[in-house]
Amino acid sequence: MDYYSGGHICQCLTRLSTLRRDSPVTIFGNRRKTGRQFVDGVLSLSQGLLELGLRRGDIVAIAALNSDRYLEWLLAVAFVGGIAAPLNYRWSFEEARLAMAVVRPIMLVTDESCISWYPELESNNIPSVRWHVFMDSPSSFPGTTQNVTSTETLKKPSPRSSPFNYLWAPEGIALICFTSGTTGRPKGVAISHTALTVQSLAKIAIVGYGEDDVYLHTAPLCHIGGISSAMAMLMVGASHVLMPKFDAKSTIKAIEQYQVSSLITVPTMMADLISFTRRRQETWKGGQKVEKILNGGGGLSFGLIKDAAKLFPNAKLLSAYGMTETCSSLTFMTLYDPTHGNSGEFLQKIGNMKSYPIHSPRGACVGKPAPHVELRIDCNGSSPIGRILTRGAHLMLRYWDQIPTKSGDGWLDTGDIGCIDDYGDVWLIGRTKDRIKSGGENVYPEEVEAVLSQHPGIIGIVVIGLPDTRLLEIVAACVQIRENWQWMEASSDHLPKNKELMLSSEMLQQYCRQKNLTGFKIPKSFILWKNPFPLTTTGKLRRDEIRKVVTSQVQFSHSNL
């Protein structure tokens, strides 16, 4: 394979070096860098890595919060033909040690978010690591500084050449990105320069990113969603506003201060932003400058879409479906576009649940494939439903410590179940591993959730399978209800004043029947869930954890529907 023909993520440096000579490409706290200053930082860090002894194919593990230096490290490691392996700063040291045992990094870069790791690191628990680098100044960290340096100390003057003389790692690998590990041990996914390039071009084409965008980094740079969107913004030469990590207050402040035009979210982020602005004394109008919001990590409920459209009235709101193994997004779908028609009519339409096409008894629509993505359904018999397969330049090369998982003709099994309709829209029905086997019938939680999420009183829904001696498993639903709605237990003698804002198990079962959900798929038990649903660090649902909590704490009464 000729890696030179496949693209390199450092090709963005040529464009960046000529952009924003008087305005910042990156903003992080009090640090602001123009395009030329940012590129010089990448080149000088690259030179320092070469002089230190980093070579093609060497792996550099990075565990840190978001910052402009993090972006520099991702590009500098790739520039010298190294492979970046972002680690999750939220991991315990043991989790990080297991990940590093898989990829065997020669260098570890950390910041103060990993301060709890340092006593263990001082004990030489990572045999492969020759150098430890602090993202910032080492003076602020505990322990010794033997064989330790900092980003700025490492940088060396670099001769500027045209074109840039960047190198490729073996196989054209740009980074190893770890899956979020909803079950079991996270796996290292080897992603190529080409995959990152085509993913970036897809986002530029579909979302509409451009040079004038001010992009707020809400997603962590240790995950593929944050990395792929960052690469797209680097390619177009947008301005990057970086904050260490997401919280609603800091995000709202940054949107106002820097007139942010673009950001990405997961459903919990959007819910937090809506909740925070509602608690403010005055109506918040800072969201009017936002033009593009891309949501991933799960679908938005009807209520969240409606509230998001009110909070960001001028923003095109899209959703994306994908995974680490496919270098982020496979499909895209526009949920709200203020430039198409009357926004008031849209909000009225979304209030009419029966006419809005995002959810249906056959699952959740996740839109059409990106231009570079091939999808097909592996069906059994005459059914149009089956396993979702994909192939193309966006696929991972392999899991780092495993043999390739693609078939001989290049197709990768996503592990998802779905179908593709006559209009080319992909409908996601569920994950193979989450399938509930009830009375010999298959039930996919996402299919049931797609129906129940349409109810105006529900803001969150998770469907799980619980052990049952007769049926093997029964379908149960954990529900979060909207403010001002009241949950009524079957044994309750007190009726609320406003019966229209009342919910109960029987009412939701009847609602499922009205939506023509097949009888064996209707939950036999409903559990009122008052706390946030547990999520992975990428915003994915921890369905296994919910199942454990419910199984251990709740007693169920099984009745036939």
β-bridge pairing 386-391 and 374-379: antiparallel
Predicted local distance difference test score (pLDDT) of residue 558? 39
Return the half-sphere exposure (C-beta side, CA atoms, 13 A cut-off) of residue 96: 29
| DSSP bridge partners of 209 | none
In 349-457, DSSP assigns E strands to: 359-360, 363-369, 374-379, 386-391, 398-399, 412-420, 426-431, 436-438, 441-443
Per-residue tokens: 482: 């909207």
β-bridge pairing 363-369 and 131-134: unpaired
Domain count of the fold of the chain: 2
CATH code of the domain covering residue 545: 3.30.300.30
The SS3 of residue 318 is strand
Complete DSSP assignment for 374-400: EEEEEE-TT-S-EEEEEESTTS-SEET
Label residue 499 exposed, middle or buried (CB < 10 Å: 0-12, 13-18, 19+). exposed
Among 163, 192, 221, the domain-final residue is 192
Residue 397 phi/psi, 5° resolution? -75, -40
Is residue 474 a part of any domain in this protein? Answer: yes
Shortest CA distance to 225 belongs to which of 530, 540, 517?
Answer: 540
Is residue 182 a part of any domain in this protein? Answer: yes
Among 150, 172, 192, the domain-final residue is 192
Per-residue tokens: 403: 């043999």
Per-residue tokens: 33: 């860098």
How far apart are the C-alpha atoms of 201 and 116, rounded to whole Å?
39
CATH code of the domain covering residue 81: 3.40.50.12780
How far apart are the C-alpha atoms of 188 and 177, rounded to whole Å?
6
Per-residue tokens: 401: 């410590």
Predicted local distance difference test score (pLDDT) of residue 498? 60
Return the half-sphere exposure (C-beta side, CA atoms, 13 A cut-off) of residue 222: 29
For residue 454, the enclosing domain spans 445-561
Look up the pTM and report it.
Answer: 0.82
Predicted local distance difference test score (pLDDT) of residue 356? 44
Per-residue tokens: 497: 């004043």
Query: Which ranges of the chain have pLDDT less than 50?
Result: 1-3, 182-183, 352-357, 361, 555-561
Predicted local distance difference test score (pLDDT) of residue 297? 76
Predicted local distance difference test score (pLDDT) of residue 485? 92
Predicted local distance difference test score (pLDDT) of residue 344? 56
Question: With contact defined as beta carbons under 8 Å apart, do 435 and 401 qualify?
Answer: no
Sign of CA dihedral 522, 526, 530, 535: negative
Is residue 355 a part of any domain in this protein? Answer: no
Predicted local distance difference test score (pLDDT) of residue 174? 97
- What residues contact residue 559 under an 8 Å CB cut-off, 6+ apart? 524
Sign of CA dihedral 139, 140, 146, 149: negative
Is residue 479 a part of any domain in this protein? Answer: yes
Q: What is the pLDDT of residues 355-412, one digit of tens each?
A: 344 555 467 889 999 999 999 999 877 778 899 999 999 999 999 977 665 556 889 9
3-state secondary structure 237-286: CCEEEECCCCCHHHHHHHHHHHCCCEEEECHHHHHHHHHHHHHCCCCCCH
Question: With contact defined as beta carbons under 8 Å apart, do 514 and 477 qualify?
Answer: no
How far apart are the C-alpha atoms of 347 and 350, rounded to whole Å?
5
Among 165, 192, 219, the domain-final residue is 192
Is residue 164 a part of any domain in this protein? Answer: yes
Predicted local distance difference test score (pLDDT) of residue 409? 82
How far apart are the C-alpha atoms of 331 and 353, rounded to whole Å?
23
How far apart are the C-alpha atoms of 295 and 471, rounded to whole Å?
37
Q: Treating both helix axes as pointing N-terminal to C-terminal, what angle do 68-79 and 224-236 enclose, rounded to 10 degrees?
A: 80
Is residue 415 a part of any domain in this protein? Answer: no
Q: What is the pLDDT of residues 281-297, one digit of tens each?
A: 678 888 999 999 999 87
Is residue 418 a part of any domain in this protein? Answer: no
In order of 306, 538, 539, the CA distances from 434 in angstroms are 29, 18, 17
Is residue 457 a part of any domain in this protein? Answer: yes
